[in-house]
Structure 1
Amino acid sequence: MGTRRGTILTMGGGGFSMPEVAGAGALDELVLGLTGADTPRVCFVGTASGDAASYVERFLDAFEGRARTSVLALFGNGPEGAIPLDALERVLEQDVVYVGGGSTANLLAVWRLHGLPELLAQAARGGTVLAGISAGMNCWYEASSTDSFGPYAPLRDGLGLLPGSACPHYRSEPGRRESYLRWVASGELPDGYAADDGVALLWRDGALVEAVTEAPGAQAFRVRRAGGDVDETPVPTRALAA
């Protein structure tokens, strides 16, 4: 893929997907601001939720009047005007591709079936901002912590646009943190980053630029294997203006 991988914003939780998170909305403003466009073209990809209609409606409501919105519905049940399966290259025209939460494993399987990973990597190299929450965070990394199979489990076949592993919802869901630390300590998952709800990690060309939060007290962590144990180090996290 070369040295240019583009800009990717990975969110542990928050944004329009989780309005219950304190300060929700600031991450979405950041997503729009990263484009530099007055009215950016934002495409929502809800594959991980099976293109749930309620999720699509939340996206459309959240970005109404702030962006030129579109929806990519790979299950064929999208709203009127959704990007059709024979025109997936339209993702290359977007300023943002915003990936929703749900099942990381299902997302990866369906995307690969339709050849979407290659198109998204090409879009990123061309300047499209890739963003996502939960499964939409996990998918860009080499590996991740997922509940796609019911109980939390390590998933090791991510897209690899970002290095290492990821863990969303880090301290908000019982068992998330403990299982992720255990898998990194044992080598079942490579070293990586964890993000609380309301926290996002901003990457450019495969390098971490900064961590930001819309939720007071929320944090990002660098998690690394250390001998037979694990090292968990807070990442400096900048608070976004509400």
Structure 2
Amino acid sequence: MVTRPPQILAFGGGGFSMEAGNTLLDDHALALTGVARPKVCFVPTASGDADHYLVRFYREFAARAEVSHLSLFRRDRSAGAIEGDIATHLLAQDLIYVGGGSVLSLLGAWRAHGVDAILERCWRSGVVLCGLSAGSLCWFDGALTAFHGPPERVEGMGLLPWANCVHYDAEPERSQEFRAAIAAGELRPGYGADDGAALHFVGTELAEVVSSRPKARGYHVEAVDGQAVETELSCHYLGSPRIALAA
């Protein structure tokens, strides 16, 4: 059994559903498990368990992992992918991958079924959590969603005591509102991630920013004297080799 600390890999946007032919972020998520062929469960709640999303997940991961999915909008819950109760299955995974869509719908469904509490248990037990867009916003104390129109604040699960903004470069209105909300004290200090960038947290602290695109970046935003101060963070492009430091 592999022993892992609590970890979350929060994509600003990217992975198999946004970057056809670019597997760098998904490869990194799999590598964080430390398992050659990890157990991976896809949770497409934010899309209403869309069929096309499930097909694309299985097409991408079936050759590299032991795959399953969790459905909350179908009578059988999982189309035969899960035997037994949800908690037992999710706690047995190496990686839980949460898809994009509506974070409001995701959180409502999770709370109604108790999945939010189960996922917190998974995180604390060392199951790696990852996701993009809604599947990134959900882990944080607070965030901005723009799925249903203009950016609006949403209360997340609070596993990470920070605010989060996804699609930071692709949706300027969202990132602008994010900075304004932090400056006004309506959101905690937090992090933004471009499409193609991912924030890797170990425990509740940011360990690294990685990217699948050379120019994608992550940012820290905090309020100083009532003004938002944005700091671009050091980022490792996953398409380049890491440089070993001299002893």
Query: TM-score by structure 1 length?
Result: 0.92
The AA in structure 2 aligned to 1:7 is Q
2:45–2:72: 8 Å Cα contact kept in structure 1? yes
Task: Give CA-to-partner distance per residue, 1:126-172, whole Å, 9 cap, x none.
Answer: 221010100010000000010244211111x2101011100000011
Matching residue within 199, 204, 219 for 2:202: 204
Displacement of 1:79 in angstroms is 6.0
| Residues 59-103 of structure 1 deviation map (CA, whole Å, 9 limit, x = unaligned) | 11110210010000011166632337x711110110000000011
Q: How many positions carry a matched residue from both structures?
A: 235
Structure 2 unmatched ranges of 5 or more: 241-247
Q: Which residue of 2 aligns with 1:91?
A: 90
Aligned mates of 1:123, 1:154 — CA distance in 2: 26
Residue 235 of structure 1: aligned partner: 233
Q: 1:24 offset after TM fit, Å?
A: 2.6
Residues of 2 paired with 1:79 and 1:16: CA distance? 20
Separation of aligned partners in 1, 2:19 and 2:12: 13
- Tell me the secondary structure at the aligned position of residue 137 of structure 1: helix
1:58 pairs with 2:75:
no
The letter for the 2-side match of 1:191 is P
Taking structure 2 as the reference length, the TM-score comes to 0.90
Q: Identify unmatched segments of 5+ residues in structure 1.
A: none
Distance across 2 between alignment mates of 1:204 and 1:118: 19
SS of the residue aligned with 2:53? Answer: helix
Amino acid corresponding to residue 146 of structure 2 in structure 1? D
Matching residue's letter, 2:161: P
The 2-side partners of 1:53 and 1:71 are apart by 11
The equivalences for 1:160-239 within 5 A come to 160-239=158-237
Report the counterpart of residue 143 of structure 2 in structure 1.
144
User: Which residue matches 1:39?
Assistant: 37
C-alpha distance in 2 between matches for 1:142 and 1:80: 32
Q: How much identity, in percent, do the aligned residues show? A: 44
- What is the match of residue 14 of structure 2? 14
State the secondary structure of the residue aligned to 1:121: helix
8 Å contact kept, 1:92–1:122: yes
| Counterpart contact for 1:24–1:198, Cα < 8 Å | no
Q: Deviations over 1:163-207 (max 9, x none)?
A: 110000001124122111111111121110000000001111111
* Stretches (4+) displaced over 4 A: none
Tell me: CA distance 1:45–1:133, structure 2 relative to 1, closer, same or farther (3 Å): same
Residue aligned with 1:91, SS: helix
Corresponding residue for 1:106? 105
* Helix, strand or coil at the partner of 1:182: helix
Amino acid corresponding to residue 9 of structure 2 in structure 1: L
Secondary structure at the aligned position of 2:149 is classed as coil
1:118 corresponds to? 117
CA distance in 1, matches of 2:78, 2:109: 19
Match of 2:245 in 1: none
Superposed CA RMSD:
1.7
Letter in 2 for 1:121: E
Q: 3-state DSSP class of the match of 2:16?
A: helix
- Give per-residue Cα distances to partners, 1:41-71, cap 9 Å, x unaligned: 0000000010011111111111021001000
Q: For 2:213, what is the secondary structure of its paired residue? A: coil
Partner of 1:49: 47
